[in-house]
């Protein structure tokens, strides 16, 4: 079901307000060009499965410490699977996440990149949105 004209205008106004007021948040959530670390995901899933097995085994043999150990292994597996890889930690610690943000944060203008090949989808989409809004 399409939005009415008034709803579309309200949504566009809310998006502009979010972008202009919280440009740091928009840049942070905008997406990243990093690939997921499939090794960490696979190891995390295996740890979760092993933790579930330990939890069930602890309940089956009525040993509380085995169940607790299984839960800890499950929790560690989830953390391992959802944590960013080493490359993402290196980039965030070197200040990569703050380099694409607007310096003043009040005008909402995004710095133009030197080439579009290294930029993410959301950056290009935001630039197109800015060009469209500046044209109105």
Residues in the chain: 136
Confidence at residue 117, expressed as pLDDT on a 0 to 100 scale? 55
Identify which of 129, 97, 95, 101 has the alpha carbon closest to the alpha carbon of residue 113. 101
pTM of the full structure: 0.44
- Average pLDDT of the chain, as a whole number: 75
- Burial (CB count within 10 angstroms: exposed 0-12, middle 13-18, buried 19+), residue 52: middle
Task: Copy the structure tokens of residue 105.
Answer: 């944060």
Distance between the two ends of the chain, CA-based, in angstroms? 26
**Range from 12-26, 58-72, 93-107 carrying the lowest mean pLDDT:** 93-107
Residue 62, by phi and psi: left (phi above 0), alpha (psi -120 to 50) or beta? left
Residue 48 reports pLDDT greater than 90: yes
Confidence at residue 37, expressed as pLDDT on a 0 to 100 scale? 81
Confidence at residue 76, expressed as pLDDT on a 0 to 100 scale? 94
Confidence at residue 98, expressed as pLDDT on a 0 to 100 scale? 43
How do residues 67-90 score in pLDDT, each as one tens digit? 999 999 999 999 998 887 665 555
- Determine the number of helices (DSSP H) and then strands (DSSP E) in the chain: 7, 0
């Amino acid at each position: 079901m399409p939005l009415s004209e008034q709803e579309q205008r309200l949504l566009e106004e809310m998006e502009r307000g979010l972008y202009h007021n919280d440009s740091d948040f928009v840049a942070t959530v905008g997406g990243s060009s990093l690939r997921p670390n499939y090794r960490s995901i696979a190891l995390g899933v295996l740890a979760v499965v092993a933790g579930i097995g330990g939890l069930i085994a602890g309940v089956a043999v009525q040993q509380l410490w085995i169940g607790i150990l299984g839960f800890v292994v499950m929790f560690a597996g989830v953390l391992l699977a959802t944590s960013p890889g080493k490359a993402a930690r290196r980039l965030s610690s070197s200040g990569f996440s703050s380099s694409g943000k607007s310096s003043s944060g009040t005008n909402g203008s995004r710095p133009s990149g030197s080439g579009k090949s290294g930029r993410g989808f959301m950056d290009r989409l935001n630039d197109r949105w800015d060009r469209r809004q500046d044209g109105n």
